[in-house]
A and B are shown apart, each in its own frame.
Chain A
Amino acid sequence: MDERRTGYLLLLVLVSQLVFVAVQGARGGGGPTYLERLGLRLVGPPARAVASAAHGVAAGRQQLRLQRGLLEENRRLREQVEALELRLLRLEDMAGEMHRLGSAVRYATPLLGQIRAVDVVYADYTSWLRTLLVYTGREPAAVNQPVLAPAGLVGRVVTVSGPYAKVQLITDRAASVGGMITRNRRQGVVRGSGQEGAALSLEYVPLSADVRLGDQVLTAGIDGVYPRGIPVGTVAAVDAGGGQMFHRIRLAPAVDLGSLDQVYLLEHAAVPQELLKPVPRSAR
Chain B
Amino acid sequence: MRAARLSAGLALALLVHLMGTRLFPSLPERLDVFLVVALLNGLEGSSLSALLYGLAAGLIQDSLGNGPIGLHGFADTVVAYGAARLAQRLVIQRAAGVGSVVAFAALVQQAILTAMAFLLLPSPSLPAPPGILVQAVAKALACGVLAMVIYAAEGRWRRLNETRRRGRMGRLRLE
Q: How many A-B pairs with Cβ below 8 Å?
A: 76
Let me know if B22 and A6 touch, CB within 8 A.
no
Contact of B22 among A21, A26, A36, A51 (CB under 8 A): A51
- Within the assembled complex, what's the spacing in Å between the Cα atoms of A51 and B19? 8
Let me know if A50 and B22 touch, CB within 8 A.
yes
Let me know if B69 and A14 touch, CB within 8 A.
no
- One digit per residue, 1 when the CB lies within 8 angstroms of any chain B CB and 0 when it does not, for chain A 1-45 equals 101001001100110011011101110100001011001101100
Let me know if B22 and A43 touch, CB within 8 A.
no
Q: Does B60 contact A (CB under 8 A)?
A: yes
- Within the assembled complex, what's the spacing in Å between the Cα atoms of A9 and B51? 9
Would you give the shortest CB distance from B26 to chain A, in whole angstroms?
17
- Within the assembled complex, what's the spacing in Å between the Cα atoms of A51 and B18? 8
Contact of A24 among B15, B64, B68 (CB under 8 A): B68
Q: Does B163 contact A (CB under 8 A)?
A: no
Contact of A42 among B55, B63, B121 (CB under 8 A): B63
Contact partners of B59 in chain A: CB under 8 A: 35, 39
Would you give the shortest CB distance from A78 to chain B, in whole angstroms?
38
Let me know if A25 and B122 touch, CB within 8 A.
yes
How many residues of chain A have a CB within 8 Å of chain B?
28
Contact partners of B78 in chain A: CB under 8 A: 14
Q: Does B86 contact A (CB under 8 A)?
A: no
Question: Looking across the interface, which residue of chain B has its beta carbon closest to that of A39?
Answer: B63
Contact of A40 among B18, B63, B81, B122 (CB under 8 A): B63
How many residues of chain B have a CB within 8 Å of chain A?
28
Q: Does A280 contact B (CB under 8 A)?
A: no
- Within the assembled complex, what's the spacing in Å between the Cα atoms of A13 and B52? 9
Q: Does A47 contact B (CB under 8 A)?
A: yes
- Within the assembled complex, what's the spacing in Å between the Cα atoms of A39 and B64? 8
Question: Looking across the interface, which residue of chain A has its beta carbon closest to that of B60?
Answer: A43
Q: Does A54 contact B (CB under 8 A)?
A: yes
Would you give the shortest CB distance from B41 to chain A, in whole angstroms?
15
Contact partners of B71 in chain A: CB under 8 A: 21
- Within the assembled complex, what's the spacing in Å between the Cα atoms of A71 and B52? 56
Let me know if B22 and A54 touch, CB within 8 A.
yes
Let me know if B68 and A21 touch, CB within 8 A.
yes
Let me know if A21 and B116 touch, CB within 8 A.
yes
Which residue among B22, B69, B74, B78 has the maximum number of chain A CB atoms within 10 Å of its CB?
B69
Question: Looking across the interface, which residue of chain A has its beta carbon closest to that of B14?
Answer: A46
Contact partners of B48 in chain A: CB under 8 A: 1, 6, 9
- Within the assembled complex, what's the spacing in Å between the Cα atoms of A17 and B72? 10
Q: Does B169 contact A (CB under 8 A)?
A: no
Would you give the shortest CB distance from A167 to chain B, in whole angstroms?
59
Would you give the shortest CB distance from B125 to chain A, in whole angstroms?
13
Q: A43-B14, A50-B19 are in contact. Are A17 and B74 (CB under 8 A)?
A: yes
Contact of B47 among A6, A17, A35, A36 (CB under 8 A): A6
The B1-45 residues at the A interface (CB cut-off 8 A) are 11, 14-15, 18-19, 22
Let me know if B14 and A10 touch, CB within 8 A.
no
Contact partners of B47 in chain A: CB under 8 A: 3, 6, 10
Contact partners of A51 in chain B: CB under 8 A: 22
Let me know if B63 and A25 touch, CB within 8 A.
no
Question: Looking across the interface, which residue of chain B has its beta carbon closest to that of A58?
Answer: B22
Let me know if B51 and A39 touch, CB within 8 A.
no
Q: Does B90 contact A (CB under 8 A)?
A: no
Let me know if A39 and B22 touch, CB within 8 A.
no
16 A-B residue contacts at CB 8 Å?
A6-B47, A9-B51, A13-B55, A14-B78, A17-B73, A17-B74, A21-B69, A21-B120, A22-B120, A24-B69, A25-B120, A36-B63, A39-B60, A43-B60, A47-B18, A54-B22
Query: What is B's interface to A at a CB cutoff of 8 Å?
Result: 11, 14-15, 18-19, 22, 47-48, 51, 55, 59-60, 62-64, 68-71, 73-74, 77-78, 81, 116, 120-122
Given contacts A10-B77, A17-B77, A47-B64, 12 further A-B contacts (CB under 8 A): A6-B47, A6-B48, A9-B48, A9-B51, A10-B51, A14-B77, A17-B73, A21-B68, A26-B122, A35-B59, A43-B64, A50-B22
Smallest CB-CB A-B distances: 4 pairs: A39-B63, A24-B68, A17-B70, A50-B18
